[in-house]
Structure 1
Amino acid sequence: AHRRAQRRGATKETTIEVSVDLDAPWCEADLPSGAQGAWTGNVMTSTTLTATVERTARIKTGISVLDRVLTELVRCAGIQVVVHCEGDRHIDDHHTAEDVAITLGQCLHEALGDKAGLARMGCAEGAHAAARCRAVLDLSNRAHFESDLSLDEEYVGGVDGEVVALAFGADGADVGGSESSSSPCDAICGGVLSSEMLHHVFLSLTMELRATVHLEVLEDSGAPGHTLDIALAASSAFGAALASASKLDPRRHGVVASSKGTLSQ
């Protein structure tokens, strides 16, 4: 059976749509740059047009750093994912990041089904610049998350008050003339992710995926901005471990990888 799931929802904080297809391969057009160049302007049949639209980038949360983290995870997992979210980013990044992670985890769990015949476990490393991370993942239905991610900067990538000064001037006035940005909070929350919420994203994703996940930092420069390198390395490792764990193992002959013959419910 084709392994896919989709969820939509709306609250006072967010409007969200997420879909997951574990058996449709990720492709370069799933990158934001690929989305812009996927259609050349040539006349297409309805079938070709649908196929093109379906493979273009679909991770749009309104938080560019979160988009990068999720895109890296999906790329290394080798799956197709759609994430659309409109959230109350004028307040902060909490509701958007949390709801995206929760809904994505729920879709992944649903798409994986009873996990019969799956390898179930995966271990992988990911690297970005000077950072290297390892992820150990077990699709156990026992939700547990551990990590030692060194998130010692307020924002992923080390964004600080300088961004506000550049965007709004010393007195807080918008020097860019943008009508869409009305406060320094808009500039921060519209582009970056707090380090606290990065941890929460991995935690919420793991809990709703109902997996056991351990993330470990193997190398880290500690230089200013190193938290972005850690975030992308951890995402790569998480995605690659998920790819290994979710693969069908022919040696299982369709049986759940458990001595009990079933996983915890």
Structure 2
Amino acid sequence: MAATPTFTPRTASRRRTTGETDVEVSLTLDGTGRSDCQTGVGFLDHMLTLWAHHGGFDLAVRCQGDLHVDEHHSVEDVAITLGQTFAEALGDKAYIARYGHAYVPMDETLARAVVDLSGRFYFVFAADFDRPTVGDLATELVSHFWYSFAEQVRCNLHIQVLYGQNTHHKIEAIFKAVARALREAVRRDVQFGSVRSTKGVL
């Protein structure tokens, strides 16, 4: 009988510096949901805190961005750096469950997220927002945030708000659903061997 593999915590840190932003991210996938997020965009900090808590990830984010222009560059570069850090923490993806999905209600709203950590990028987003902003975040950047994250992780990520009315609730349900889907996908599963693919690689 093969020995049960020994696992160590999956963690990574990244820094991304451009003429528009300076972003630092530290992430532990096998965490307890602790977070310290200071992006300069208050509503994004709130969403990242929720994402870490519901994903069981330990997360620290710092961003110094050109907010005198607007929040676009900060939101985009935080997503890019978070995606790169997530991919690095995953490493060779040994023994991960690979797939994850979650439905999350938020009062009148219901959101669904489905992920495949396949090494292939594809993104689908189906949600309508009635407000142009929530707090200091443009709602059009919610889709762009997850597009940028999924592109760096090289995963399939499908997000849909099935129904709802309140824009804050919709966005919060999205971040929570993605967190729980990713938590399921990164879960270690030794039952089916080290690679959950008939190709032998993810």
TM-score for both structures, normalised by structure 2: 0.92
1:9 match: 16
Aligned length: 195
Shift of 1:107: 0.4
1:217 aligns with 2:161: yes
Which structure has greater helix proportion? 1
Alpha-carbon separation, structure 2, partners of 1:127 and 1:63 = 25
Alpha-carbon separation, structure 1, partners of 2:128 and 2:185 = 26
Give 5+ residue unaligned stretches, structure 1. 31-56, 157-190
Shift of 1:77: 0.7
CA RMSD of aligned residues (A): 1.2
Shift of 1:109: 0.6
Kindly, what percent of the aligned residue pairs are identical?
A: 40
State the secondary structure of the residue aligned to 1:20.
Answer: strand
Which stretch shifts more, 206-215 or 233-242?
A: 206-215
Shift of 1:219: 2.2
Alpha-carbon separation, structure 2, partners of 1:128 and 1:88 = 32
4+ runs deviating over 2 angstroms: none
1:104 match: 82
Shift of 1:240: 0.1
Shift of 1:116: 1.4
Shift of 1:130: 1.8
Shift of 1:198: 1.3
Cα pair 2:118 2:156 within 8 Å, conserved: yes
Residue number among 109, 115, 133 corresponding to 2:111 in the alignment:
133
1:122 match: 100
Please say which structure displays the higher CA radius of gyration.
1
1:205 aligns with 2:165: no
Cα pair 1:127 1:232 within 8 Å, conserved: no
Which structure has greater strand proportion? 2
* Matched letter for residue 133 of structure 2: Y
Aligned positions of 1:174-185 closer than 5 A: none
Residue number among 191, 197, 200 corresponding to 1:258 in the alignment:
197
State the secondary structure of the residue aligned to 1:115.
Answer: coil
Cα pair 2:16 2:81 within 8 Å, conserved: no
State the secondary structure of the residue aligned to 2:133.
Answer: coil
Alpha-carbon separation, structure 1, partners of 2:94 and 2:17 = 33
Shift of 1:129: 2.7
* Matched letter for residue 70 of structure 1: L
Using CA pairs under 8 Å that are at least 6 residues apart, name the structure with larger relative contact order, 1 or 2: 1
Shift of 1:197: 1.1
